[in-house]
A and B are shown apart, each in its own frame.
Chain A
Amino acid sequence: MSFPWANEYKPANGLTQWLDEKLPLPRFVYNAVGAGYPVPRNLNYMWNFGVLAGFCLVLQIVTGVILAMHYAANAGVAFDSVEHIMRDVNWGWMLRYAHANGASAFFVVVYLHIFRGFFYSSYKAPREMIWLLGVVIFLLMMATAFMGYVLPWGQMSFWGAKVITGLFGAIPVVGEPLQVWLLGGYAPDNAALNRFFSLHFLLPFVIAGVIILHIWALHIPGSSNPTGVEVKTESDTVPFHPYYTAKDGFGLGIFLLIYCAVLFFAPNMLGHPDNYIPANPLSTPAHIVPEWYFWPFYAILRAFTSDFFFIPAKLMGVLAMFSAILVWFFLPWLDTSPVRSGHYRPLFRKFFWLLLIDVAVLGYCGGAPAAEPFVMISQIASMYYFLHFLVILPLVSSIEKPEPLPFSITEAVLGKDESAVLNANPAAA
């Protein structure tokens, strides 16, 4: 599970020794995120975002549990109870803004974490399971965020719930009964609000469980690194603590500066004013859009405007939107290049940046009104999105000539590695 040169946990005193024999929890922590976990010495700041995502989950759970103490999940009073939190509860405004912007912060760091995975091909063997679990976490996050957004029961909450549950109505035959079953009625109402609250409270703990599996799976091969060359010897690694606890701590500080700047100076920057209007089932806001972190997928949903043979446009859009994430599950097998890191893959690197631009374009279109030229642009960008994963990636993997890799992480960092010289001239050894 770890490298043979990992530091061994030694109980410091009688109490920890007693504990180690009964329940070796300190040993577990030491081996997981302490000095007992050797990590490649060359990790850059892109490797900070896993820890930051974990921090965001804790932040969301703490603020969320507190908000639940003041919130009432009833369609009659939900909106007022949120205003009560904002105006009457001590520090309620801060806790709610922290939670709402915490969701955005969570998605920012998770997207960066995912893009790190794309660039350095963190999904490749032997780390496929880590990647697959990560996609599961992302899907759970999306479900949790969506249901949380419904709870304030404003206009955007209500119509978001209606549109997203409407997606299930697109499924042939069972769609409409399924939608009614999900909502517990014909339109979002008290039943839907209550179950969304219940699940919004539950899912973060499910996410925490899958994160444990994600880290467990990570600790079997150990962390990847910017060269993509596997760890060979002890000189390739440093203990997680204090080296990466310090590096992650610094990253956390930077993250908190940005997060607090938004929290205290622009807490509604990422929200929609329409959500400060109580839910009205008879009037749809002129421009309904989801929260920014769903925009790229929303653009793909809206890109399908005409029927595709016998498949209705609506079902096509829904299938495409879900496929846009489900395709990530196949990534370890679509990218067949033996080289992991984008640093040594000149062609792949160009397409990686093109994909980022494509996702940004989709994001912009997803937030824009459903009119030309945005529909046309979303259609082109959606097509390119799938083209990237299904055609370009396998093709690039087979035709690209990667640049030479360093012999080891040590060589990449220090410019030379003694054991590389020894291996090159076995006679000299």
Chain B
Amino acid sequence: MAEQASIDTSAPAEEGVRRRDFINIAAVSFAGVGGAAVLVPLVSQMAPSADVLAQSSTEIDISAIQPGQAIKAVFRKQPVFIRNLTPEEISAAEKVDVASLRDPQSLEERTKEGKTNWLITMGVCTHLGCVPLGAGEGEVKGEFGGYFCPCHGSSYDTAARIRKGPAPKNLEVPEYAFTSDTVVKIG
């Protein structure tokens, strides 16, 4: 140690980068990058695994749903609400001034063309993920006639748009397509 110190002090400063400095920095950098690279699998293993990602689409027969009725289906282990809106519900949704909404969207933007009566949304409250009430027979629909989340009191209207309570967004409309008049494919 004493010998080392004497070498360091005797070495003239103008010699610049020494061979040993280079080796030190190179070795530590190399080990550092290698160490950081180990984090990739450690972090990535937490993300959804292949079998979870595989459950990416669901086909649902909607022929039995009468106007005013709704069903709960399952998509990616989460509920999906499929509602057949009544004409009154459609007009109630259309009467609202879109600009006045927290998450401004019209009923047309939230449904497929020519199928305005089919409101398909995730059954996941955008606040903290509870399942809102209103899809089942006899459940509370909240003061705007759509869905009501019992957890923190968010109320959605007949187009499942957020109207009151802490939720920031309308109920999410998943990607879907009608494969026929009576079958819808979600995802």
* Contact assessment for B79 and A305 in the assembled complex, using a CB-CB cutoff below 8 Å: no
Instruction: Tell me if A195 counts as interface (CB < 8 A to partner B).
Output: yes
Evaluate whether A312 and B52 lie within 8 angstroms (CB atoms) in the complex, with A163-B129, A181-B47, A284-B151 already known. Answer: no
Measured between beta carbons, the chain B residues less than 8 angstroms from A185 are: 48, 52, 76-77
Measured between beta carbons, the chain A residues less than 8 angstroms from B131 are: 282-284
Category for how many chain B residues contact A: 20 to 34
A351-372 vs B: 1/0 string, CB under 8 Å? 0000000000000000000110
* Contact assessment for B127 and A166 in the assembled complex, using a CB-CB cutoff below 8 Å: yes
The interface-forming segment of A82-90, A120-128, A186-194, A230-238 is A186-194
Instruction: Tell me if B150 counts as interface (CB < 8 A to partner A).
Output: yes
Which residue of the partner chain, among A167, A191, A375, contacts B48 with CB atoms under 8 Å? A191
Instruction: Tell me if B68 counts as interface (CB < 8 A to partner A).
Output: no
Instruction: Tell me if A377 counts as interface (CB < 8 A to partner B).
Output: no
CA gap between A165 and B130 in the complex, in Å: 11
Instruction: Tell me if B152 counts as interface (CB < 8 A to partner A).
Output: yes
B81 smallest CB distance to A (angstroms): 11
A285-305 vs B: 1/0 string, CB under 8 Å? 111100000000000001011
CA gap between A180 and B76 in the complex, in Å: 12
* Contact assessment for B151 and A163 in the assembled complex, using a CB-CB cutoff below 8 Å: yes
* Contact assessment for B102 and A162 in the assembled complex, using a CB-CB cutoff below 8 Å: no
Instruction: Tell me if A159 counts as interface (CB < 8 A to partner B).
Output: yes
Identify which of residues 305-335 in chain A touch chain B, using a CB-to-CB cut-off of 8 Å. Answer: 305, 307, 312-315, 317
* Contact assessment for B168 and A375 in the assembled complex, using a CB-CB cutoff below 8 Å: no
* Contact assessment for B74 and A195 in the assembled complex, using a CB-CB cutoff below 8 Å: no
* Contact assessment for B52 and A191 in the assembled complex, using a CB-CB cutoff below 8 Å: yes
B162-184 vs A: 1/0 string, CB under 8 Å? 00011110000000000000000
A164-185 vs B: 1/0 string, CB under 8 Å? 0111011000000000111011
Measured between beta carbons, the chain A residues less than 8 angstroms from B149 are: 284
Instruction: Tell me if B99 counts as interface (CB < 8 A to partner A).
Output: no
* Contact assessment for B48 and A317 in the assembled complex, using a CB-CB cutoff below 8 Å: no
* Contact assessment for A370 and B128 in the assembled complex, using a CB-CB cutoff below 8 Å: no
Instruction: Tell me if A281 counts as interface (CB < 8 A to partner B).
Output: yes
Which residue of the partner chain, among B77, B128, B150, B151, contacts A281 with CB atoms under 8 Å? B77
Evaluate whether A305 and B130 lie within 8 angstroms (CB atoms) in the complex, with A186-B77, A281-B78, A282-B74 already known. Answer: no
Evaluate whether A187 and B76 lie within 8 angstroms (CB atoms) in the complex, with A167-B128, A181-B47, A302-B152 already known. Answer: yes
* Contact assessment for A162 and B130 in the assembled complex, using a CB-CB cutoff below 8 Å: yes
Which residue of the partner chain, among B46, B129, B152, contacts A195 with CB atoms under 8 Å? B46
A173 smallest CB distance to B (angstroms): 14
A133-155 vs B: 1/0 string, CB under 8 Å? 00000000000000000000000
Identify which of residues 16-73 in chain B touch chain A, using a CB-to-CB cut-off of 8 Å. Answer: 46-49, 52, 72
Measured between beta carbons, the chain A residues less than 8 angstroms from B48 are: 180, 184-186, 191
Instruction: Tell me if B104 counts as interface (CB < 8 A to partner A).
Output: no
Nearest chain-B residue to A306 (Cβ)? B166
* Contact assessment for B151 and A370 in the assembled complex, using a CB-CB cutoff below 8 Å: yes
Instruction: Tell me if B87 counts as interface (CB < 8 A to partner A).
Output: no
Measured between beta carbons, the chain B residues less than 8 angstroms from A285 are: 150
A234 smallest CB distance to B (angstroms): 43
B116-137 vs A: 1/0 string, CB under 8 Å? 0000000100111111110000
* Contact assessment for B153 and A371 in the assembled complex, using a CB-CB cutoff below 8 Å: yes
A104 smallest CB distance to B (angstroms): 23
* Contact assessment for A305 and B165 in the assembled complex, using a CB-CB cutoff below 8 Å: yes
Measured between beta carbons, the chain A residues less than 8 angstroms from B129 are: 162-163, 165-166, 169, 187
CA gap between A370 and B125 in the complex, in Å: 15
CA gap between A166 and B168 in the complex, in Å: 13
CA gap between A154 and B49 in the complex, in Å: 24
* Contact assessment for A163 and B52 in the assembled complex, using a CB-CB cutoff below 8 Å: no
A372-383 vs B: 1/0 string, CB under 8 Å? 000100000000
Interface centre among B127, B131, B152, B167, by most chain A C-beta atoms within 10 angstroms, is B152
Extra contacts besides A284-B133, A304-B166, A370-B153 (20): CB < 8 Å: A162-B128, A162-B129, A163-B151, A166-B129, A169-B128, A181-B46, A184-B47, A185-B76, A186-B48, A187-B78, A282-B79, A282-B123, A283-B131, A284-B131, A284-B150, A288-B130, A305-B165, A313-B166, A314-B166, A370-B152
The 9 closest A-B CB pairs, nearest first, are A166-B128, A312-B168, A166-B129, A370-B153, A163-B128, A284-B130, A284-B131, A186-B76, A162-B129
Q: List 17 A-B contacts (CB under 8 A).
A: A162-B129, A166-B127, A170-B168, A184-B46, A184-B52, A186-B78, A187-B129, A189-B52, A282-B123, A283-B131, A285-B150, A288-B151, A305-B165, A313-B167, A314-B166, A370-B150, A370-B152
